[in-house]
Amino acid sequence: MATNNSVTNQDTHFFADVCSNFDFAAQFTKHDAGLLDQIKSCNSVYRFRFPIRRGNGFEVIDAWRVEHSQHQSPTKGGIRYSEMVNEDEVMALAALMTYKCAIVNVPFGGAKGGIKINPKNYTVQELENITRRYTVELIKKNFIGPSIDVPAPDYGSGEREMSWIADTYATMNPGQLDAMGAVTGKPIALHGIAGRREATGRGVAIATRECVSIGEDMQKIGLTQGISGKKVIVQGLGNVGYYSAKFLSEFGALIVGLCEFEGAIYNADGLDIEAVFQHRKATGSILGYAGAKQEFKNTLEGLEQPCDILVPAALENQITVANIKNIKAKIIVEGANGPTSPEAEAIFHEMGGIVVPDMYANAGGVTVSYFEWLKNLSHVAFGRINRRFEENSNLNLVNMVEGITGLALTPLQRATIVKGATELELVNSGLEDTMIRSYHEIRETYKSINKIDGMRTAALVGVINKIAVSYQNLGIWP
């Protein structure tokens, strides 16, 4: 049974939107047209189909892998499992991955994959067959490998699928020492890394916290400085949305609204994110949660409720010209890829709002994927070699200070000071440093070019300049 390959004009605008943003930013750079075209274009687009057995018959699966840029190697990007996925979307997401990696100074080119299925319609065995066959197709065309192209989870996929990919690649490449580095987002038991699952959401929360920490910027939009007490609405209670809300709450923000495909809930006094999550797990819906004071059957209506910060962390094209003027938030932090249309963003800027762009805000995932890749290539967990040495050094220092001062620390104080960093603590530290440095890098570009309207353009200007330098240094051969 073949799938329907028809794609409407409405489905083919995402890559055009990404290119439109790129072209607008390019006018603030001084690179020639040919180089700009090379940076913007997708280098390789691999579209393929393969059959699987279903019952007594066959089904043909459509799939893609796009490598957008090889200015750095390997390329990097997730694999989306969705019946809505199409070539345009995969190309757009691959381009965003290139820009995302450049923004956070991760040495990867951008890539993306897509398998046109609804995972809910398949058994675990069928999903494994699809994933392994997809991986074999990539191997046949040299579209996967630790130094070539490294997939990761995306919408509809997770640690389980990455395990299947890793095993298939290792089986097809016997004796390859770095085989586990061919894919990231693996479970820790299969050479994954602590903190990867929550990395994107943690990165979104850090980006939000950093944005509101700058008093000068907050004064312009009528907000106080700091994350404490800020009212936040989060769209999406999947991996990114859940962890974004969780960490924002831990940072001191007040989660007042949550939106999912079945509807939205709101409480100006705050929602308990964990309680909502458990309620949805038990009932299949966020609606009916006892702590909500308002419910909306239309999930988009939930985005329009009073708040300071809106975090769309679901799918693309959620905020458009149709609803942007109803958005009451002063800041939009894009947890998802492409949730705000270019037209809506322009209107939001005119309204005096700030958009923290997706290519920066949700870069936490690829940042920690980079750490996982490094771990796989080095074949040693972070902190394993030096942790005990650090603890002994810290203990000697504490003993010396106590001996000189005559003061004795409590057991808890000693344990806190002496303790060496775990892998998770090192990963979170590296992620936080990356997100903070990158935000201020974008902001400096924004401030230095007065004509730039918005952080997305500022981020892309920095991206274009970085990638242009890479291509110029590489040269062209032959």
- DSSP secondary structure string for all residues of 423-434: HHHHHHHHHHHH
Q: Could you say which of 40, 76, 100, 112 is catalytic? A: 112
Give ∠ CA 420-423-425 in degrees, rounded to 5: 70
CB 356 within 8 A of CB 211: yes
Structure tokens at 402: 């106590």
Structure tokens at 129: 């067959």
- 112 catalytic? Reply is yes
DSSP state of 2: P
124 exposed, middle or buried (CB, 10 Å; 0-12, 13-18, 19+)?
Answer: exposed
Structure tokens at 85: 């996925």
Q: How far apart are CA 330 and CA 451, in angstroms?
A: 21
Classify 117 as helix, strand or coil.
Answer: coil
CB 130 within 8 A of CB 62: no
Burial per residue of 218-247, b for 16 or more beta-carbon CB atoms within 10 angstroms, e otherwise: beeeebeebbeebbbbbbbbbbbbbbbbbb
Long-range contacts from 314-317, C-beta under 8 angstroms, 24+ separation: 314/235, 314/236, 314/238, 314/241, 314/259, 314/260, 314/261, 314/339, 315/155, 315/236, 315/339, 316/14, 316/89, 317/14, 317/341
Classify 318 as helix, strand or coil.
Answer: coil
| Catalytically annotated residues | 112
